[in-house]
Amino acid sequence: MAERVRKVHSPGETNIPGTVESPSPTYLSIANPTHERERAPRRALPMQDSLGDANWEANDFLLSTKQLVGSLYRNAWERGDDACQHLASSVRNLTGRLQARAKHIKEDEPLRLLAVVAGTALVLGIVARVWRSSRHG
């Protein structure tokens, strides 16, 4: 089916040869094929304006939410990293103190250490005997 076209006249000019207007809101120049397509002014419907605004606001909200979540994640990661470093430091400190205390007891009070080991062995022996007798009734 043939498309209806009409010649376009600019204000102040009588005729522009070879220029046609299609029924769509785009103007085409047949005389100059390299001529860029120009869009005719469009009247947006109120619904389209509100949808465009809603789309823009949704994109803006998503971007700000993404930035906020990223910031919270980095903050939580840094705090967790600091807590792990503090825990590791505390464990190293405690281990060092326990080693120093054990070395002190071993060198300065060997009889006391021997008494603690013997007492612990006696208590564990009694507990093992009671446990065995209660199982085999």
Give residue-wise pLDDT tens across range 71-96: 999 999 999 999 999 999 999 999 99
Neighbours of 113 (CB within 10 A): 14
Dihedral angle, C-alpha 62, 67, 70, 71, nearest 10 °: -140
Phi-psi region of 12 (alpha: psi -120 to 50; beta: other; left: phi over 0): left
In this structure, are residues 31 and 18 in contact, taking their beta carbons and an 8 Å threshold? yes
Confidence tier at 3 by pLDDT (50, 70, 90): very low
Domain assignments of the chain as residue spans, ordered by start: 1-42
Mean pLDDT of 22-44: 47
Mean pLDDT of 39-56: 63
Interatomic CA distance for residues 117 and 89, integer angstroms: 30
Give the tokens for residue 14. 């009588």
pTM strictly above 0.85: no
Position 100 pLDDT exceeds 50: yes
pLDDT of residue 27: 45
